[in-house]
Amino acid sequence: MPKKTMLKQLATPRFQKTALLAALGMASALSFATHVQADTTVSAVMHSALRSLDPVSSSATIARNHGYMIYDTLIGLDADLNPQPQMADWEVSEDGRIYTFTLRDGLTWHDGSPVTPADCIASLKRWGTFDAGGQLVSNHTESLTALDEKRFALTLSSPLGDVIGLLSKPSAVPAFIMPENVASIEPGQPLPNQIGSGPFRFIANEFQPGVKAVYERFDAYQPRSEAPSGTAGSKEVFVDRVEWIHMPDVQTTINAINSGDIDYIERTPFDLLPLLEGNPEITTDVLDPLGMLTVARMNFLNPPFNDVRIRRAALLAMGQEDVLAALVGDPRFYQTCASVFGCNTAISTEAGDESLTSGGRPDEARALLEEAGYDQTPVVLLQPSDVATLTPQPVVVAQALRKAGFNVELKQMDWQTLVSQRANQSPSSEGGWDMIFTNFGVDSFWSPTINMLLIATGTQDSWFGWPSDPYMEELRTEYAMAESEEQRKALAEAVQEQAMEQATFIPLGQFQNVVSWRNELSDVVEGPIPVFWGMHKAE
Amino acid sequence: MLGYFIRRLLAAIPVMLVLALSVFLLLRLSPGDPAVIIAGDMASPEQVASIRTALGLDQPIYTQFFIWMGNMLQGDFGTSLISQTSVMTMITQRLEPTVSLALAAIVFTVLISVPLGVIAAWRQGSWVDNLVMSVSVVGFSVPVFVIGYIVIQVFAIKLGWLPVQGYRSLDNGFGEFASRLVLPALTLSSVYIALIARMTRASMLEVLKEDYIRTARAKGLGERLVLFRHALRNAGVPILTVIGTGFALMVSGVVVTESVFNIPGLGRLIIDAVLARDYPVIQAIILLTAGLYVFINLLIDLSYAITDPRIRY
């Protein structure tokens, strides 16, 4: 063959036309094949991958959300944070010590067997092992007794004002009701099955940890008659199937919803939001107006933050606006808020300190450091490198602390290393830490009893940082016992002032997550957690 | 040949043992405690200790190693510490997408890069040669994720020809399966196309100067026969080596492509496992990958004998 013949053949119009037609034909055929899917399947990209299937022993938010798909709770919490009957109604004895719960009719497990008081009792005991609020109830519990096939009694050793609030709270660990044999499993052991009594069934053989979790409507579920609101009211399901897909790349997620590959994004990245807001086929909205609080926590056990003056200096050094601008960027979705309960809740108060919301007072912080004789001991801040919503805070705070005269060391690490290191109570020079950052849903912060960062019992039961503050504990107990709203508000204000005075933790601002969904979805339920009941999908 | 095959397999055993020990020790010495991660925020030290016992992490390291090795030799790779799922099940679920992607990418690579390399060598110094070499520089220089986003933007979003993301197994039909592999395979193959095109060109240039090529042309053989039967076959040994190791690299290094196209493969599994300190999963994948390297290298060595009759074992 002459030397140029092959190239000439490739360049002929006939060859090019044939190749183009073949490519177009194949692409069209493949494209058609990919868009065939069931109409009532909702594909949702959640904020994180589901790996652990135990929503009580795991503190992961995604495990909690999984729990709400397949389990139910005795009490629900409506969108206004008011407890409402869900699986059960309740009565309280006159002395406030005996709570009698009556299970509503039609409650069955996914295997068809009925939900019994024994299941509820075992579940509440398990909840009391893993949750701060559950521990509070557990510590005051004299007995949990089945009365008959529908009723059981929780008898307290002394009255506790907020029992119903604790049973209804959706975070950190809700009081999910599990079958007795599941609830009796020891910590660290896998749950024997994923049978719940909630509105969805978990499809175990399609579960790929870290990739996909599949749920199908539980046809025998008997919903309540009230309208859905938060985790309360009707949980009637109008779609056949929900698929939770994890996408590690946020740009891919945006591309996928724009092209119709997925229907729903639980947390839209703030910086990519404009790519969706310009698409008329997509709705973006805030479904949880309370949102999240981002906070800093100091280590109370070791110098320099074992000195309250130095903790106060750190608090005075910080300004929320800088943190929120770096974390969220778009002012539509954040606000400054110095309340340790989060803002816009029934008892929120910003009493005690305004410096956080007014950009900080570095000069006062510097003076306080001098008064305390701060010796330039390095302050170690832990920064997770792989959690986008926790990466900016340490950088901004480090700069603010340096400006006030702190010697700051920023330690970057992956989240799981940080999780292990934050449990280390040694000084930072020996592998410990001085300041960490985290985000909590306001629904898990909104009262002194459920806010785990306010627990100040030292190394025994406190959250990392291990504050010891008997007066704070006294206030929390009084709040739990309080029987009137006025009492609760007054005590909440006292807690706020004490938290600011002791710098129990530092609120760095409140922000809302933006949910995006394709317009084929409607009636998406508002509330503190993402739910898939009540939702319709157009055919 | 059979004797050589068996000798090579036996030689792989100490390699795998040393690797297993190294991986095991490195993981145990790295920071991060799976029990703390599993226990959650409100766990007491007693609960963490109880989880550590339940997982066998309270045993001496050498005991843990021997238990793991003993189980593995019986085909039991253990259970994920985080999801409590069988490691073998997790790997099986993730192996298919990765191998499918790597195979598709290697097919694209071979179909595109070898002819390009041959043509570039054949027309050395011409515009074709310059074009192929320039494109290969681009293939080397542009990160894979950038290429991924570009092809998604063009072929999936603007033209709508192919899906944006995801993986479907063959059970869902060939169209569904193939349509979701085209863009990621094209993306993944870009760097290998560049590499193998250059390698093919260089090998071909060497061979085309040989006396037997001149002889073949002198006796009147057609150019296609000279290029593909005589020259390419003689230039094939280094090309095969690169293709073979390229395949192994693809299987073990597809994490970026898998992330951009949301393919639930082994790359993502190992990243997730490392971040979660899921020891059994990390250990199993690293051993599997090492075994794959050993096996592919063996296949490459055996294939030399097929392409080059002068090589005998």
The predicted structure's pLDDT at residue A401: 97
Residues B54 and B168 in one domain: no
Residue B236 included in any domain: yes
The predicted structure's pLDDT at residue A33: 42
The predicted structure's pLDDT at residue A528: 84
Residues B67 and B115 in one domain: no
Give one DSSP letter per residue of A456-471, joined into a string.
-BTTTTPPTT--B-HH
Residue B158 included in any domain: yes
Out of B51, B90, B161, whose CB is closest to A209? B90
A-to-B residue pairs, Cβ atoms closer than 8 angstroms: 183
- Is the pLDDT at A224 greater than 80? The verdict is yes
Average pLDDT in the B236-247 region? Answer: 80
The token duo for A465 is 């940082």
CB contact under 8 A, A173 and B42: yes
The token duo for A6 is 């092959």
| Nearest-CA distance A24 → chain B (Å) | 8
Share of chain A above pLDDT 70, in %: 92
The amino acid present at B230, given as its one-letter code, is H
- What chain B residue is nearest to A418 in terms of C-alpha separation? B32
Residues B109 and B183 in one domain: yes
CB contact under 8 A, B44 and A131: no
The predicted structure's pLDDT at residue A22: 47
Average pLDDT in the A79-98 region? Answer: 92
Q: Is the N-terminal amide bond of B218 cis, ω within 30° of 0? A: no
Residue B175 included in any domain: yes
| Nearest-CA distance A338 → chain B (Å) | 24
pLDDT grade for A25, boundaries at 50, 70 and 90 = very low
Instruction: Determine which of B29, B36, B41, B275 to mutate to test the interface with A (most A C-beta atoms within 10 Å).
Output: B41
Task: Using the 3D structure, point to which of B16, B47, B73 is the last residue of a domain.
Answer: B73
Longest pairwise C-alpha distance within chain A: 105
Residues B235 and B303 in one domain: yes
| E strand map for A107-161 | 141-146, 151-156
- Is the pLDDT at B41 greater than 70? The verdict is no
- B261 touching A (Cβ < 8 Å): yes
ipTM of the modeled complex: 0.73
| Nearest-CA distance A166 → chain B (Å) | 16
Residues B110 and B40 in one domain: no
Residues of chain B numbered 276-295 and touching chain A (CB < 8 Å): 276-277
Which residues of chain B make contact with A190, given a CB cutoff of 8 A? 79, 84
The predicted structure's pLDDT at residue A18: 47
Average pLDDT in the A71-86 region? Answer: 92
DSSP-assigned beta bridge partners for residue A293? A440, A510
Closest residue by Cα to residue B50 from A501, A397, A28, A188? A188
Q: Which helix (H) or strand (E) holds B169?
A: none
Out of A49, A57, A261, whose CB is closest to B163? A261
Out of B79, B83, B161, whose CB is closest to A27? B161
Average pLDDT in the A348-356 region? Answer: 77
Residue B313 included in any domain: no
* Cβ contact A217:A241 at 8 Å: yes
- Is the pLDDT at B256 greater than 60? The verdict is yes
Residue B312 included in any domain: no
Closest residue by Cα to residue A75 from A4, A175, A161? A175
B59-104 pLDDT, tens digit each: 898 899 999 889 988 888 888 888 888 999 999 989 999 999 999 9
Residues of chain A numbered 208-237 and touching chain B (CB < 8 Å): 208-212
- Name the more confident of A419 and A353: A419
Instruction: Determine which of A31, A185, A206 to mutate to test the interface with B (most B C-beta atoms within 10 Å).
Output: A31
All structural domains of chain A? 61-193 (3.90.76.10), 292-511 (3.10.105.10)
- What chain B residue is nearest to A211 in terms of C-alpha separation? B264
Q: How many Cα atoms sit within 13 Å of A230 on the Cβ side?
A: 23
Which residues of chain A make contact with B260, given a CB cutoff of 8 A? 249, 251-252
- A182 touching B (Cβ < 8 Å): no
SS (H, E, C) A342-357: CCCCCCCCCCCCCHHH
CB contact under 8 A, B40 and A452: no
pLDDT grade for A20, boundaries at 50, 70 and 90 = very low
- B178 touching A (Cβ < 8 Å): yes
On average, the pLDDT of chain A sits at 89
| Nearest-CA distance B217 → chain A (Å) | 11
Q: What is the CATH number of the domain that holds B117?
A: 1.10.3720.10
Residues B64 and B164 in one domain: no
The predicted structure's pLDDT at residue B252: 67
Residue B78 included in any domain: no
Task: Using the 3D structure, point to which of B15, B47, B73 is the last residue of a domain.
Answer: B73
Closest residue by Cα to residue A130 from A492, A487, A461? A461
State how far the alpha carbon of B219 is from the alpha carbons of A39, A395, B118, B210, B212, in Å: 67, 74, 21, 15, 10
Average pLDDT in the B28-43 region? Answer: 74
Task: Using the 3D structure, point to which of B41, B73, B105 is the last residue of a domain.
Answer: B73
Share of chain A above pLDDT 90, in %: 66
The predicted structure's pLDDT at residue A15: 44
- Name the more confident of A523 and B26: A523
The predicted structure's pLDDT at residue A503: 96
Of the ranges A150-154, B60-64, B212-216, the best mean pLDDT one: A150-154
Residues B40 and B129 in one domain: no
Average pLDDT in the A145-149 region? Answer: 95
DSSP structure class, residue A112:
S
Which residues of chain B make contact with A415, given a CB cutoff of 8 A? 275
Residues B59 and B106 in one domain: no
Residues of chain B numbered 24-63 and touching chain A (CB < 8 Å): 31-33, 35-44, 47-48, 50-55
Which residues of chain B make contact with A130, given a CB cutoff of 8 A? 40, 42-43
Q: Is B98 helix (H, G, I), strand (E, B) or coil?
A: helix
Cβ contacts of residue B90 below 8 Å, gap of 6+?
A: A208, A209, B80, B83, B269, B281
Residue with tokens 């094209």: B186
**Distance, CA of B187 to CA of B261 (rounded, Å):** 10
The predicted structure's pLDDT at residue A136: 84
Residues B228 and B177 in one domain: yes
CB contact under 8 A, A252 and B261: yes
**Distance, CA of A8 to CA of A96 (rounded, Å):** 94
Out of A5, A51, A172, whose CB is closest to B83? A51
Which residues of chain A make contact with B160, given a CB cutoff of 8 A? 31, 259
Residues B186 and B208 in one domain: yes
* Cβ contact A310:A502 at 8 Å: no
B177-207 pLDDT, tens digit each: 999 999 999 999 998 999 899 989 999 998 8
The amino acid present at B87, given as its one-letter code, is V
Residues B188 and B271 in one domain: yes
The predicted structure's pLDDT at residue B30: 79
Average pLDDT in the A312-318 region? Answer: 96
Average pLDDT in the A181-197 region? Answer: 87
Q: How many Cα atoms sit within 13 Å of A537 on the Cβ side?
A: 22
- A247 touching B (Cβ < 8 Å): yes
pLDDT grade for A359, boundaries at 50, 70 and 90 = confident
- Is the pLDDT at A19 greater than 60? The verdict is no
* Cβ contact B65:B21 at 8 Å: yes
B118-172 pLDDT, tens digit each: 999 988 889 999 999 998 888 888 998 999 999 999 999 889 899 999 899 888 8
CB contact under 8 A, A59 and B42: yes
Residues B118 and B214 in one domain: yes
Residue B82 included in any domain: no
* Cβ contact A304:A311 at 8 Å: no
Residue B29 included in any domain: yes
Average pLDDT in the A195-207 region? Answer: 95
Of the ranges A139-148, A443-452, B12-21, the best mean pLDDT one: A139-148
The predicted structure's pLDDT at residue B177: 92
- Is the pLDDT at A35 greater than 60? The verdict is no
Question: What range does the domain containing B13 cover?
Answer: 2-73
Give the number of domains in chain B.
2
The predicted structure's pLDDT at residue A352: 62
